[in-house]
């Protein structure tokens, strides 16, 4: 299934129904008086969040959502029918904005959350409502109020406890496939991951956390280089960042340089993202090149006050200790 995290759609709630002009007409009952009923209410447009939806692909192919107008009032003081609402199902984590005013209409953060994003018009009053002591036979009724009409933008930001960051091909996808049931695409060329992947990690005692595999970043990503800012938004909702580094590549510029380059991109994108707690892991310690450089690189991080977790996503060496640190960090954040 194609991953789509942005969409633009048009929505129009239903207009209110027309009020009725009617008079009681019954044998042997003179001067029956007005009995026109009110019009019905137009249908609302309601956004519904669902965890079973992972993408905004449906919105790309269904860009117009229009609710029906309310039914007209009838004689004998009968109110017109209210029109049914139109529901738009979106993934959890979707932000909905009015494209003209940029007003935030809804932030869909909970499964089953329902938000009215366009209210239907109220039905007009029938002539029975306008009867007074001086106006016994009003011959007018109200039109229904128009429904709200707008073009909205949908932006999906995945919700996860842990988000992975790092250069392309550092082993982020291999790691998430190793610790969860997720099966992202894995290959030995840059930008193998073209869409975020979510994995649920079971840590025992019926406890779990969600980890997001974010496509790799490169220098200049906040300006559009590589995959650019297209997926940076998905780490805005994560609680902590898992920064994975590969020191086996050639030419090798240094793990600390890679660490700072990625963090500069995060800071340029959002200072809030840069401020998120980070756990640093050096991957591929099963390779000879990594083993030869590991001690020196770990010492550099230690001198800068950063703890490093050496791991191998392939052999799972060091994974247990890293998972304990992730759980500890998440527990600290939740307590705070």
Alpha carbon distances (Å) from 4 to 83, 322, 336:
31, 32, 34
Q: Looking at residue 265, what is its pLDDT?
A: 84
pLDDT digits (tens, 9 = 90+) for 238-270: 889 999 999 998 878 889 998 998 888 888 888
Contacts for 206 with CB less than 8 Å, ≥ 6 apart: none
Local confidence band at 222 (pLDDT 50, 70, 90 cut-offs): very low
Average of per-residue pLDDT across 269-294: 91
Q: Looking at residue 181, what is its pLDDT?
A: 61
Contacts for 277 with CB less than 8 Å, ≥ 6 apart: 239, 240, 241, 329, 333
Burial 154-192 (b: 16+ CB within 10 A, else e): bebbbbbbbbbbbbbbbbbbbbbbbbbebebeeeeeeeb
In the block, tokens 């009952």 appear at: 29
From the candidate CATH numbers 3.30.300.340, 2.70.210.12, 2.30.30.90, 3.40.50.1860, the one assigned to the domain spanning 6-156: 2.70.210.12
Alpha carbon distances (Å) from 108 to 32, 131, 224, 288:
53, 46, 27, 47
Average of per-residue pLDDT across 172-192: 62
Q: Looking at residue 302, what is its pLDDT?
A: 94
Closest CA to 166 of 242, 95, 66: 242
Taking the whole predicted model, whether its pTM rises above 0.75 is answered as no
Local confidence band at 336 (pLDDT 50, 70, 90 cut-offs): very low
- Statement: 162-335 belongs to CATH 3.90.1150.10: no
Cβ–Cβ under 8 Å, residues 120 and 16: yes
Contacts for 276 with CB less than 8 Å, ≥ 6 apart: 235, 238, 239, 240, 241
Residue span(s) of the chain under CATH 2.70.210.12 come to: 6-156
What percent of the chain is predicted at pLDDT more than 90?
A: 51
Average of per-residue pLDDT across 155-184: 80
Residue span(s) of the chain under CATH 3.40.50.300 come to: 162-335
Q: Looking at residue 182, what is its pLDDT?
A: 53
Q: Looking at residue 194, what is its pLDDT?
A: 46
CA 177/CA 222 separation, integer angstroms = 27
Closest CA to 164 of 120, 212, 110: 212
Mean pLDDT value across the chain = 85
Local confidence band at 234 (pLDDT 50, 70, 90 cut-offs): confident
DSSP-derived pairing of the beta strands 162-165 and 278-283: unpaired
pLDDT digits (tens, 9 = 90+) for 88-141: 999 888 999 999 999 999 999 999 999 999 999 999 999 999 999 889 889 999
Q: Looking at residue 28, what is its pLDDT?
A: 78
Q: Is the pLDDT of residue 335 over 90?
A: no
């Amino acid at each position: 299934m194609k991953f789509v995290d942005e969409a633009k759609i048009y929505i129009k709630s239903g207009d209110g129904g027309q009020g009725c002009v009617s008079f009681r007409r019954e044998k042997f009952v003179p001067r029956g008086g007005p009995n026109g009923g009110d019009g019905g209410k137009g249908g609302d447009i309601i956004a519904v969040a669902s965890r079973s939806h992972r993408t905004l692909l449906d919105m790309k192919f269904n860009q117009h959502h229009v609710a029906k107008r309310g039914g007209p009032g009838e004689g004998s003081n009968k109110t017109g029918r209210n029109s049914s609402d139109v529901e738009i199902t979106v993934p959890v984590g979707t932000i909905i904005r009015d494209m003209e005013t940029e007003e935030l209409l809804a932030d869909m953060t909970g499964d089953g959350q329902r938000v009215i994003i366009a209210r239907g018009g109220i039905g007009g009053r029938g002539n029975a409502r306008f009867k007074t002591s001086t106006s016994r036979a009003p011959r007018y009724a109200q039109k229904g109020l128009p429904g709200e009409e707008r073009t909205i933008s949908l932006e999906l930001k995945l919700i996860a406890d842990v988000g992975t960051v790092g250069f392309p091909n550092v082993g982020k996808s291999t790691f998430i496939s190793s610790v969860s049931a997720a099966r992202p695409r894995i290959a030995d060329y840059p930008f193998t991951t073209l869409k975020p992947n979510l994995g649920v990690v079971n840590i025992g005692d019926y406890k779990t956390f969600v980890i997001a595999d974010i496509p790799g970043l490169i220098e200049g990503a906040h300006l559009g280089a590589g995959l650019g800012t297209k997926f940076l938004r998905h780490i805005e909702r994560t609680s902590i960042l898992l920064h994975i580094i590969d020191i086996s590549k050639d030419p090798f510029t240094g793990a600390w340089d890679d660490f700072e380059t990625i963090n500069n991109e995060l800071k340029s994108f959002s200072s809030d993202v840069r401020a998120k707690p980070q756990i640093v892991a050096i991957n591929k310690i099963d390779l000879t090149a990594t083993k030869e450089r590991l001690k020196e690189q770990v010492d550099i991080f230690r001198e800068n006050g950063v703890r490093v977790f050496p791991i191998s996503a392939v052999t799972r060496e060091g994974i247990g200790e890293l998972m304990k640190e992730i759980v500890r960090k998440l527990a600290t954040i939740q307590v705070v």
